[in-house]
Every structure is written in C-alpha cells, then in structure tokens.
Structure 1
Amino acid sequence: MDEQEIRKSAALEERHWWYAERRALVRRLVAPLPTGRAVDVGCGGGGNTRVLRDLGWDVTGLEYSPVAATLAASRGLKIVRGDSRRLPFADGTLDLVMSTDMWEHIDDDEAVARETSRVLRPGGRALVAVPCSMKLWSGHDVALGHHRRYERAELVTLMEGAGLDVVDVMSWNVLLRPVARLRRRHNDSESEMEEVHPVVNAGLRLAVATERYLPVGRLPGISLVARAVKR
C-alpha cells in the first residue's frame, strides 16, 4: 500500500463503518480470552491494537511501513517496525498473534503463517482476517497492493500447514457482498476507502452489525476471519 493510501486509511479509521465494525468484531472475538502478551501484525494506524490494549493485553503493534508505524506510535501505542515474514519475537513467547487484512499484502504468505505459529506458545491463539474470494478481485485490490483474495479451504490449508489448528473460519460482511460485487465490476483502479455521508455510514454499520444475530457465518462474505490454536 502506498503512502497516500496509508494516510487516507489512517484518517478514516476513527469513523468509517468498515474500520469501526472491524474493531467491534475484534473486541467481540478477543474479549472472552484470558489476557497475556500479544502482537498485532501489520497494525496500520493501530485501531485494532488499541482494542487489545483496552482489553488489558500487553500488546505490541508490528508495522513494516514507516509512515503507518509513525502514525500508530503517535496514538500512544507500543509499536515496532518489522517484517511479518521474520517476526522479531522469540519462539513460543506470545499468547495471541492477530493479523487483520494484512496477509494478502505479502508475497510469501506461507512465511507469515509459519512465523505466526513459531512465536506462539503451545495453546496460544491466532486471529487472522483476510479478504474473501477472487470473484471479488477488482481495482480496489490493486490499489491496496493485494496479491490475492482467499477461499475458505485455501486459508485453512495455509494455517494448518504452519502448525496451527483452525478452530473456526467465519465469513464477515456477508450482507454487503452483493453490493461490493456489483460496484467492483466497474472499478478498474481505485480503492473503495473513502469518506461516506454520515447517514450512509450509519446504515452500513447497521448492516454489518446485524450479522451478529443472523446465521450467515458460512455464507460467502467480503472477508474471512479465522481463529486457530498453536499445537
């Protein structure tokens, strides 16, 4: 992702429906876990890192981009610069490794999966969110620097092959998938991360939040969210 896109995403992070509901998802999935030492790999502006911190985790945000790392650190978070393919943590020292919308940016995602497994203690948790399905591939992905979108079985195979036992893979942002698919047919080169009118923003948040109460986790969505345990 280029510097302009990073700055735009950071500026939108506090109010944009996508980021707000993604933070709510992270909070909901992580809150039941006992706290410990965590890393948010590819933390960007640090929105999800802050969720872990507020839940009581000793969390470090790891970010490759100097621009994003500086932005996250300016928000009072503990940030280190590093490469997700060579995590700067000792073997078996972390209780949680979280990566939200990061693996798709890396050419060698097998290395990222192996490193995630390596730094987790036995019984430690991985929480990984990735964009779903190459059927949704568009200029949005190109603009954000994606290498791929993932199918469910592909993500499970990748994580299991790295030594992680996948507990669950759920779809997220299911109700808006038809809208995204229609829009992306006409998107050749632009990111969809942009300012949204407050009324529309509230409506989109409501649509995503409604999924919490509907049995849609196995239907195709815009994202996949995987939870796994280190063997």
Structure 2
Amino acid sequence: MEAAEIRKLAALEHQHWWYRERRRVLARSLDALVRTGEKPGRALDVGAAGGGNTRVLRGRGWDATALEYGEEGAGVARGRGLPVIRGDAIALPMADDALDLVVAYDVLEHIEDDKSAVREIARVLRPGGTALVAVPCDMELWSEHDTAVGHFRRYDRDGLLNLLSSAGLRIEEVRSWNVLLRPVAAWRRKRSTGSDLEDLSPLVNLGLSAVIAAERYLPVGKLPGVSVLVRARRQDPVGSSPRPGTD
C-alpha cells in the first residue's frame, strides 16, 4: 500500500466503521482462541500498517509485534509505542517455529507471490500455532479501488483454502464478512474511480457501523460477502491432512 493510503488509514481508522468493526472481529477471534484453551503467547501482525490490529493483540495479552514493509506505516506504529519490525512477508525475519499466532488481515492480496507469503506464515508458526487470515473476496467486485490500493487479486473461498492448505495449514473455520453491505459495495465499486478510503459524515458512518455490527448476531457467514475470514492451524509434523471447515 502506498504511503498516501497509509496516512489516510492512520487518520481514519479510529472512527471509520470498517476498521472499527474489523478490530472487533479480531478481538472476538482472539477471545474464541482463549475459550478453546489457547493462552496468549508470541504473535506477529503481518502487514500491520499503523498497528491498529497490533494494539488489539497486545490489549488481549499477546506479546505482539507489528511487521510492516513500508517506512510510513512502520513510523506510525512506532509513534504509537508499538514494537515494529521492517520486513517482507515473503521472507519473514523470524526463526522457524517461533510464534504462537500470526495475523494477516488484508495482506495477501497485496503480495504478488502469495504462495511464498503463506509458506512463510506456516514456517514461523510453531506446530499447533494459529493463523488468522482475512482477504477481500470475489473478482466480480474488482474495481478501481483494488487498483488504487495495490491489490493483485481478490480471492474465492476454494482458492484461498487451497492456498493455505498447500502450506501445511489445517483450516478450522472459514466465513464471510461484510455480507449485509455487499450489495452496497458492489454498486459503489462499479462507480469507483479510486480508493474508497475516505472520511465519511458522522451520520453515514453511524449507519454503516450499525449494519456491519448486526452481522455479529446473524447466521450469514456462509453467504457471499466482501471479505473472507479464515482461522487455520499449523499441522504437527505427523498431523492429519488439511480439511476445510465452515462456521
């Protein structure tokens, strides 16, 4: 993502409906891990930009580091008091089996060689460690927004699950996100001439926040959305074959 987009993100993410709800999605995923007996440990937030998700991780007790390729995002994260590593997702500067959790939210679509990035995520996770991945879905939604923010692709479910499984990650949960607003996104993207990241009026922001929040309570995770969320676990060396799962 270009420096200008990083600056816009950092300025908007505190109040913008999409970023606020995405942080809640991450927090709920972390809470679900704890309920299954997972204790907070070492974590890496890949493609952290200004570190919004890193702060969620640290707030939930994880020893989390932000990994950011660009100087702009790394500088914002450091300015927020977060531990930051400058690095490339296709060559993570971490030892094998070093981490309990890797978060890669809206990262893989920015990487041309996404296969190498996923292999690196699997490499740095300990056996049994967890990967939380979010990507934009469905090439039918491709627009000038994707071009403006540096996307190489949007994913379909099968393609994403095959990508993760091929690196030795066992899929535990997959669900759609931003389902209720997909028709609005599709309409807007057809008219898009650039990035959709913009400051919204308080009333519009409030309305969109209410709609996306409703998804927390509705069984819509199997319907088409704007994003796909996956929880996967690195297999033990003698683990079973990967198998897709659904919510």
TM-score using structure 1 length: 0.98
Aligned equivalent of 2:123: 118
**Counterpart code for 2:233:** V
| Residue in 2 that maps onto 1:108 | 113
1:146 and 2:151 aligned: yes
1:128 maps onto 2:129 in alignment: no
Q: Structure 2: how far apart are the matches of 1:205 and 1:99? A: 23
In structure 1, the residue matched to 2:231 is 227
Structure 2 counterpart SS, 1:38:
strand
Tell me the equivalent position of 2:100: 95
Partner Cα separation in structure 1 for residue 49 and residue 124 of structure 2: 20
Please tell me whether residue 54 in structure 1 is matched to residue 59 in structure 2: yes
Could you tell me how far apart the structure 1 residues matched to 2:167 and 2:14 are?
A: 34
Q: Is the counterpart of residue 204 in structure 1 residue 208 in structure 2?
A: yes
- In the alignment, residue 93 of structure 2 is paired with which amino acid? P
Asked if 1:40 is matched to 2:45, the reply is: yes
The aligned counterpart of 2:20 is 20
1:218 aligns with 2:222: yes
> What number of residue pairs does the alignment pair up?
230
| CA distance in 2: counterparts of 1:68 and 1:30, whole angstroms | 24
CA distance in 2, matches of 1:26, 1:3: 24
Q: Which amino acid aligns with 1:226?
A: V
RMSD over aligned Cα, in angstroms?
A: 0.7
Instruction: Output the amino acid matched with 2:90.
Output: R
**Post-superposition offset of 1:212:** 1.1
> What do residues 32-51 of structure 1 show as CA deviations (whole Å, max 9, x unaligned)?
32200000000011000000
Structure 1 residues not aligned, in runs of 5+: none
Which digits, 9 at most, give the CA deviation of each residue in 1:161-195, with x for residues without a partner? 0000011111000000000001111113x100100
| Inter-partner Cα distance in structure 1 for 2:119 and 2:14 | 32
Distance 2:32 2:25 in 1: 12
- Secondary structure (helix, strand or coil) at the match of 2:179 reads coil
Moved over 6 A (4+): none
In 1: Cα distance, 2:32 partner to 2:218 partner: 20
Distance in structure 1 (CA, Å) of the matches to 2:55 and 2:133:
17
Counterparts of 1:20 and 1:76, CA distance in 2: 20
SS at match of 2:32: coil
TM-score scaled by length of structure 2: 0.92
- Following superposition, the deviation at residue 199 of structure 1 comes to 1.4
Aligned-pair CA distance for 1:197: 0.8
Amino-acid identity (%): 57
State the alpha-carbon separation in 2 of the partners of residues 93 and 225 from structure 1.
23
1:162 to 153, 163, 167: 167
Separation in structure 2 between the aligned mates of residue 148 and residue 102 of structure 1, nearest angstrom? 11
Q: Offset at 1:5?
A: 1.2
